[in-house]
Chains A and B, each alone.
Chain A
Amino acid sequence: MRLVILEDYDQASEWAAKYICNRIIQFKPNQGRYFTLGLPTGSTPLGCYKKLIEYHKNGDLSFKYVKTFNMDEYVGLPRNHPESYHSYMWNNFFKHIDIDPNNAHILDGNAPDLQAECDAFEKKIEEAGGIDLFVGGIGPDGHIAFNEPGSSLSSRTRLKTLAMDTILANAKYFDGDLSKVPTMALTVGVGTVMDAREVMILITGAHKAFALYKAIEEGVNHMWTVSAFQQHPRTIFVCDEDATLELRVKTVKYFKGLMHVHNKLVDPLYSMKEN
């Protein structure tokens, strides 16, 4: 794995956005060849989305030939509820960019047959040629998407009941009222994300530090599902200083020492204008 450590949240968000931008542009997507991107929600990626929008508004990055697949969506929450992941993606990303609505895929938590909806989602990913870059986050309990502790590391897209840690973490979006937080969600499986050609995990903040430690310094374990990516050939963890607080000094020093190598991935920052 690559462990890219930036000083603070803003710098981590910017590094991640630059990386995504460069990957899309270097791929040279066109009508016959779309770049497929897996996308997360939550507070961690907000800074990254803002930067991507900025690159788009400056004319440096277009999403015209990008297909996106979101990781998850709550079950039973109306699609236009302000806390649904559809609302999140519209307000924080889609409405600011030029993506074709036909290419923005999000699981439908109100589908009449939830498992069929999940199977169809897997099929859509397959038909799109698989995911080129899956961007994700990590929960305080070490989960990737809603693959809660105990999820099979070879799982596919399915219905999951949320763990208490997750419900507590999400309560802040529902006026702090636990009873208002949805208890179930549709989520891509660990196996689904492992199938991506490349995975980038964003981890910022001291409250995620323990989960990061468990994910990369301990063994592969279905209780900390992000640990599965130790077995993925191309994973990048992008974090801020605070998220490294539970790591060994040795680990942090090693990867910080590699920053000059990592930075070659984002510098120069490409632009579609140069074509």
Chain B
Amino acid sequence: MPSNKSVSDAPIVQFTNCRILRGHRLQREDLWVREGKILNPEKLFFDEKGSADIQLDCKDSIIAPGFIDVQINGGFGVDFSLATDDFKSGIDLVSQKILSHGVTSFCPTLVTSPPSVYHQVRDFLPSHPQGDKGLRLVPRGERAKAGHVETGIVLPQISIRNGGSHGAGILGAHLEGPFISKEKKGAHPEHCLRTFEAGAFQDLLTTYGSLDCVRIVTLAPEMKRSSEVIQELTKRGICVSLGHSVANLSQAEEAVQHGATFITHLFNAMLPFHHRDPGIVGLLTSDKIPAGRRVFYGMISDGIHTNPAALRIAHRAHPKGLVLVTDAIAGMGLAPGRHTLGQQVVEIDGLNTYIAGTKTLSGSVATMDICVRHFQEATGCSVETALEAASLHPAQLLGIEHRKGTLNYDSDADFLMLNDGLYVQATYIAGKEVWRQDALGM
């Protein structure tokens, strides 16, 4: 039946025979999509007298919002912290490959790096419309012509963009470091660590250059003047995350009061829970969180970074704050062996990744769908809870749940078809299929 053309000419697709995640539960409902957004079929019926142009039988699949990975350092041989000639194609490769893991939006993460990785060359082509605030990539050839020396810059090459058949959408960069604690640097290079005790926010700005495409900053709140920095970042809509830190609970609570809303990979690179000073972990049950705010925490549920019992303790203490992250490194998707992570070399062995020659964990190679399945198995939680930890919660963390992370009407139609085992069968962005499991399996 043709749809009423008075509102829109765009075709209406009705996904039938499926169970959709809506209202925190799987419901037997059809999913309607038009112009890249989830459509309200009742409104369509009564207001527009419209109906579907195309009906697709989903063979009883589960339909869930696309996964959002807010901490991913690279994959498939690409390292987001390493400036290379073809950095752009590297990010494109990762964003395309993670579609098969169910990730439809992500925050490319840069670990602690030398300033040259963050800084953009200050001169822009005069024709640039946004002048000094823009982050359009200045092609190498043009810069060389202008007489500038090209340094290995990375951050300016990351731009916020919508996903599509080319790959998952980029929500902005996650800068993990260099304003972190020496004692909890993990795999981050010590020589690149910095403080902002001299100039506070100005120091941070000098290190990072522009914050235009930055979405999350991980820092250690015990550092001097962190409160000012956290306030400034929060004012600019940047999510502040606490991590790689030896902060005690009061310092962490103060950071939250100044605006921090996230914890970077809970348990890892922070003081262990102690019953007289729970440290950052104590934020999960702190009573000093400002009213109406929620602290979220990243969990790497690859079965290695966190013991399943610890995962369960965190989940049970604060289920609504749990955000699944991969913290994937360049080696994700590659065969076992040696690979680079930022300025260091790491060794992959199965799902384990260590700084080469040590037993220090350095990032993960588990894909997001593996993390979702492992989280569900380890905690025994419902399918809905597991799926929301990778979609709704990261969207809430970033304040974008009105358009991402749910299948609510008018949201972006970024969704997945999964089987009952939570294996991704197909990935859709803006209502278009951008990846499908082929019959032979991948």
Contacts and interface: CB of A to CB of B under 8 A. Distances in A.
Contact of A79 (B44, B46, B50): B46
Nearest to A86: B46
Interface string A103-114: 010100000000
A101 B51 contact: yes
A30 interface: no
A101 B42 contact: no
A100 interface: yes
B45 A90 contact: yes
B50 A101 contact: yes
A95 B49 contact: no
B1 interface: yes
B42 A80 contact: yes
B43 to A, nearest CB: 7
A125 to B, nearest CB: 18
B30 interface: yes
A5 B30 CA distance: 37
B30 A101 contact: no
B41 interface: yes
A94 interface: yes
B129 to A, nearest CB: 42
Contacts of A80: 42-43
A95 B45 CA distance: 9
Interface string B16-54: 000000000000001000000000011111101111000
B49 A101 contact: yes
A209 B45 CA distance: 37
A102 interface: yes
A242 B405 CA distance: 49
B131 to A, nearest CB: 45
A104 B1 CA distance: 14
Contact of B1 (A91, A100, A106): A100
A90 to B, nearest CB: 5
Interface in B305-337: none
B45 A100 contact: no
Given A95-B30, A100-B1, A87 B49 contact: no
A100 B51 contact: yes
A95 B43 contact: no
Nearest to B47: A79
A80 B41 CA distance: 11
Interface in A56-115: 79-80, 86-87, 90-91, 94-95, 98, 100-102, 104, 106
A72 B181 CA distance: 68
A183 B30 CA distance: 34
A181 B384 CA distance: 34
Contacts of A79: 46
Nearest to B14: A95
B51 A90 contact: no
A95 B46 contact: no
Interface string B43-75: 111101111000000000000000000000000
Interface of B: 1, 30, 41-46, 48-51
20 contacts: A79-B46, A80-B43, A90-B41, A90-B42, A90-B45, A90-B46, A91-B42, A94-B45, A95-B42, A95-B45, A98-B1, A100-B49, A101-B44, A101-B46, A101-B48, A101-B49, A101-B50, A102-B49, A104-B45, A106-B46
**What are the nearest 10 A-B pairs in CB distance?**
A101-B49, A90-B42, A101-B45, A102-B49, A86-B46, A100-B1, A101-B51, A94-B45, A90-B45, A95-B41
Interface of A: 79-80, 86-87, 90-91, 94-95, 98, 100-102, 104, 106
Given A90-B46, A101-B44, 6 more contacts: A95-B41, A95-B45, A100-B1, A101-B45, A101-B46, A101-B49
